[in-house]
Every structure is written in structure tokens, then in C-alpha cells.
């Protein structure tokens, strides 16, 4: 499959992101981010229960602090543009913080 075939619209079709890139961004989320993702997108997880893609037991575990697998988050993100944008914004904030720390470290080395 070519890269063009795996392009997924993000942010109302203005930007495009491949599924591979989305998986990479999801992998950057830590446990706390994933738990917050579940809380933020509860309706999407409940929709998966209705579609019999997720059990109630798994859902309750997520609500009690178990982090869902990256593949589960990917499923939600593929179905919900707001979820994609949430992931992008969260990773963007982490990247900015990392760059700030690196900049401070490099500034102290000189």
C-alpha cells in the first residue's frame, strides 16, 4: 500500500496524517495520557462496546487506571477527528517541553 493510500484526514481535512505516523504519535503518549484519553473520549469507547469491539470489563479497567493498548487508541482516533487532534496536541506539547529542556541543557554546557 502506498503512502497516499494510507493518508487519513486530520483537522477537518486540512492536514493529512498517515496511519503509520498516527501510530508513532500514539506511541509517544505515556500511561497518564492514555488514561486521560479514555476519560476524554468515553463516548467513543462506549460506542465500541455497542459495536461489540470492546467488553464492559475492559472498559471499566480503563476507567480505573489501566492504559489501553496503542491499537485501541488508534481505532478511536481513526473514527474520531477530535481524538486525532487531541493526540497531536498532546504530543506537540510534550515535544515543546522536551525541546525547552534540551535548549536549557545545551545553554548550560557553554
pLDDT band at 108 (very low <50, low <70, confident <90, very high): confident
Write out pLDDT tens, residues 37-57: 999 999 999 999 999 999 999
pTM above 0.95, yes or no: no
Q: Distance between CA atoms of 21 and 19, rounded to whole angstroms?
A: 5
Amino acid at each position: 500500500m502506498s503512502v497516499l493510500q494510507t493518508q487519513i484526514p486530520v483537522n477537518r481535512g486540512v492536514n493529512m496524517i498517515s496511519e503509520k505516523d498516527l501510530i508513532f504519535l500514539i506511541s509517544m503518549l505515556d500511561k497518564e495520557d492514555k488514561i486521560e484519553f479514555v476519560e476524554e473520549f468515553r463516548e467513543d469507547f462506549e460506542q465500541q462496546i455497542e459495536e461489540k469491539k470492546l467488553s464492559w470489563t475492559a472498559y471499566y479497567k480503563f476507567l480505573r487506571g489501566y492504559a489501553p493498548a496503542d491499537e485501541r487508541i488508534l481505532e478511536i482516533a481513526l473514527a474520531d477527528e477530535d481524538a486525532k487532534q487531541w493526540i497531536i496536541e498532546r504530543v506537540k506539547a510534550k515535544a515543546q517541553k522536551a525541546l525547552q529542556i534540551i535548549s536549557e541543557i545545551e545553554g548550560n554546557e557553554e
